Structure 1
Amino acid sequence: MLVVGVTPMIMEMAKNLILGGLGHICVLDNRKVTQVNNQGLYILSEEQL
């Protein structure tokens, strides 16, 4: 049961790190925003920049 409980938490932390990294890339290069949005991984509107 511990593995079942811990695994989603680890996955969530990894996802947050990945999305956070993509967010920084998006802010630096607006072309990345469109690429990532098309993949459905991260949505970042111009208002959030």
Structure 2
Amino acid sequence: MRSCDNRTPLLGCTFGLIKVTVDGMYTILPINNFDHFYKILESKMVEKDFRRF
């Protein structure tokens, strides 16, 4: 992803993805689908956090 910041990959990718989602997909997807997508994103972030320790 071009929006990723190499110094902080997790934060860069997350904020980049949220920006893209809010700018584009959020206006197209129903609210329920967006919530489901966000929960998946959140669970993946938690997974990565645990792998770091």
Pairwise TM-score range, normalised by the shorter structure: 0.3 to 0.5
Say which structure, 1 or 2, has more relative contact order (CA 8 Å, 6+ apart): 1
